[in-house]
Every structure is written in C-alpha cells, then in structure tokens.
Amino acid sequence: MEQIKLRNIEFRWSEEYQRYELIKWNGDPYYFTIALYDKTDRGYELRIVRPSLFFQDKDSWTVAKHSITFLESDFDQNITTEEVDT
C-alpha cells in the first residue's frame, strides 16, 4: 500500500474505513481523518470530511494532489490490465 507523508499530513490505507484516507496528526497516537477517497467506476473522488482542518493547512492540499495522482494512475493501470485480459 502506498503512503505519502508531509510533516503532519499523511495519506494512507485505512483498515477501519477500508479505503484510502488523508489524516492530520495531532500528536502521536492522535490524529483526525480529514478526507476519504471514494473509488467509483470512473476513478477516485476526494471527499473532505473536515473542511476546517483540510483548508487550514497547505500541506493537506499538496498531499491530496499527489495522492490523487497516484490513485488515478493505479486506477488507469488496472483498467488497461482488465482490457488486455478480456
């Protein structure tokens, strides 16, 4: 699983939600989930669940941008693989 971290913002797989999430660390072991990534038939959508925390920190936007690029490339690669298999 992919993980991207910049200072106190982290993109990771969530066992609890069974999807990727964007979290903001508030001192180990405490964190807030600030966004979830919903997989659709057309790719991934970023769903911001804590807007005040997401927009408060430029790092959130930076990590979200890189993580969505990673997820979309993985999604596109899986679509291509499925087309070859059929």
The pLDDT, as a whole number, for residue 74 is 76
The pLDDT, as a whole number, for residue 28 is 87
How buried is residue 77: exposed, middle or buried, by Cβ count under 10 Å (0-12/13-18/19+)? exposed
* pTM, to two decimals: 0.82
Q: d(Cα 74, Cα 30) in Å, to the nearest integer?
A: 29
What are the pLDDT digits (tens) for 33-75?
Answer: 999 999 998 899 999 999 999 999 999 999 999 999 999 887 7
pLDDT, mean over the chain = 89
The pLDDT, as a whole number, for residue 16 is 93
Domain assignments of the chain as residue spans, ordered by start? 4-85
